[in-house]
Amino acid sequence: MIRVLVTDGMEKSAVKELRAKGFEVVEKFYNPEILGEKLREFDVIVVRSATKIRKPIIDIAAQTGKLKIIIRGGVGVDNIDVSYAKEKGIKVANTPNASSASVAELVLAHMFAVSRFVNISNVSMRQGKWDKKKYVGVEICGKILGLVGYGRISRQLAKKASALGMKVIYTDILGKAKDTDEYEFCELNNLLKRSDYVSLHIPFIKGKGVTIGKEQLDMMKNGAYLINCARGGVVDEVALVEALNNGKLAGAGVDVFVEEPTKNEALVNHPKVSVTPHIGAATKEAQVRIGNEIISIICDFFK
Q: How far apart are CA 108 and CA 147, in angstroms?
A: 12
In which band, very low, low, confident or very high, does the pLDDT at 247 lie, cut at 50, 70 and 90? very high
Question: pLDDT band for position 261 (50/70/90)?
Answer: very high
- Digit-coded pLDDT (tens) for 278-296: 999 999 999 999 999 999 9
The answer to whether 278 is a known catalytic residue is yes
3-state SS string over the chain? CCEEEECCCCCHHHHHHHHHCCCEEEECCCCHHHHHHHHCCCCEEEECCCCCECHHHHHHHCCCCCCCEEEECCCCCCCECHHHHHHCCCEEEECCCCCHHHHHHHHHHHHHHHHCCHHHHHHHHHCCCCCHHHCCCCCCCCCEEEEECCCHHHHHHHHHHHHCCCEEEEECCCCCCCCCCCCEECCHHHHHHHCCEEEECCCCCCCCCCCECHHHHHHCCCCEEEEECCCHHHECHHHHHHHHHCCCEEEEEECCCCCCCCCCHHHHCCCCEEECCCCCCCCHHHHHHHHHHHHHHHHHHHC
Residue 34 reports pLDDT greater than 70: yes
Per-residue model confidence as pLDDT tens digits over 152-201: 999 999 999 999 999 999 999 999 999 888 999 999 999 999 999 999 99
Q: Of 155, 201, 270, 278, which is the active-site residue? A: 278
CATH 2.170.120.40 fits 3-95+283-302, yes or no: no
Sign for the CA dihedral angle at 203, 206, 212, 216 comes to: negative
Q: Is 126 a catalytic residue?
A: no
**pLDDT tens readout for residues 194-232:** 999 999 999 887 777 678 999 999 999 999 999 999 999
Domain borders along the chain are 3-95+283-302, 100-275
Q: Does 231 participate in catalysis according to the annotation? A: yes
The pLDDT value recorded for residue 209 is 67
pTM beyond 0.85: the answer is yes
Asked if the 100-275 domain carries CATH number 3.40.50.720, the reply is yes
Instruction: Give the pLDDT band of residue 75 (cuts 50, 70, 90).
Output: confident
pLDDT grade for 78, boundaries at 50, 70 and 90 = confident
Catalytic residue, chosen from 231, 237, 270, 293, is: 231
